[in-house]
Structures are given as structure tokens and as C-alpha cells.
Amino acid sequence: MQISRILHSLPASRRFLLALLPFLCAALLLHPAPARAQHLILDRFLLANNAQSVSVRFGLHIDDISRVEEELANGGELGLVVQVTLKRKRTAWADATVAHKELVGLVGYDALSRQFHASRPGVEKILRGPSLAPLIEKLWSDVELDMAPWSVLERGHDYLLDFEMRLARKDVPTWLRTTLFFWSWDVIPPTTYRLEFAY
């Protein structure tokens, strides 16, 4: 009786938040923990001159991919996110961003056909198969990404190429992602690399 009186004395916005609290707690409890001991491995990371543009060539694979397959078999879709940023190095100020590119490839599992599927921007066909490793190898073992024309680089300066990759859940509802903004939805946390070069 006392609790009921206290609840009714609260403003409507606070009552709404209290009503939402059990659902948030349930979401936290039901949220599967990131698979442990998994890593995205960068096999190569090269700077190349492709048709007068600064180009990055890289290849990657997933260490202990069976854990990712288990995660996908439980349902949901994951995004393999690769971000590459080209910066001009500065001493007195923060490094100046020259170009930024992002690739998001999707991986998932179809329980009906019992097949994994994988896709990557720039490759029209969605690959399918009973195992995820060959699909990742076919799509991600040799990727070339044009960053910017060489003409935007200034001679006599040092440049940085920052490379970040992660495997994140793509099927999290927007309302939950915004409400639990502090929560990491990554299955494999970000791995970063840096390449420095002079022009």
C-alpha cells in the first residue's frame, strides 16, 4: 500500500522509467557475453599506388572462427567493420584527417538451409557455405581500398594510416542501442594498427 502511494505520487516520466527498468535488466541478463579468446588477425597491411591514388591493400582472418560460427548459429547477424583513416601528422595540433573509409561486411547463418552467408561491399554476390572460414577467406584475404588521390598529399610531410577492425552485432534494435549507449555490442572488440610513411 505504501509503495503504491509512493509510485502514484511520482511524475509520469519517472513512473515510465521505473516501468522500463525490469525490461532493461532483462536485456542485460539475456545479452550474450562476447565470445572470449577471439581475434581479428591482420595478415597484410600495405600502402600502394593504384591509378594515381593512395591505396591500401590488406587481408584479414578470424582466429578461432568456430566460436563465431556458434554465435551465428544462435541467431542474429554480425557486421565485420573495417575503418581506415589517412591523416597528415602534425606536431603542435591534432593530426589532420585527409580521408576516411569504412567497409561493413555482413555474416550470418540460415538455420533452414544450415548454411552461413557472407558479403562485402564491392562484391555483388553473397557467398554461402556450410563453414564460415572459406567465405571470410574468399572475401577478406585480399582487399584493396582507394583512399584519396596522391595530389591531396603535400610533399615533405609525414602521414599516418590508422586501421581498425571489429566484429559487431547488427541486429540490435535502435532503441536498445541508444538506451544502453555505454554497452559494447562487439563480438570481437576493435583491433587497431598504424602505418606511418613520409611523402
Residues 6+ apart with CB under 8 A from 41: 60, 61, 62, 63
Cβ atoms 60, 140 nearer than 8 A: yes
Tens-digit pLDDT profile for residues 57-99: 999 999 889 889 988 988 888 999 999 999 999 888 889 999 9
| Mean pLDDT, rounded, for 108-128 | 94
Q: Which of 24, 191, 18, 161 is nearest to 95 (CA)?
A: 161
Question: Do 44 and 24 reside in the same domain of the chain?
Answer: no
Question: Do 51 and 10 reside in the same domain of the chain?
Answer: no
Question: Do 21 and 68 reside in the same domain of the chain?
Answer: no
pTM strictly above 0.75: no
pLDDT of residue 64: 84
Q: Which phi and psi (to 5°) does residue 131 adopt?
A: -130, 145
Question: Do 77 and 120 reside in the same domain of the chain?
Answer: yes
Model confidence at 22: pLDDT above 60: no
- Residue span of the structural domain in which 17 resides: 1-30
Question: Do 77 and 122 reside in the same domain of the chain?
Answer: yes
Q: How many structural domains does the chain have?
A: 2
Question: Do 22 and 111 reside in the same domain of the chain?
Answer: no
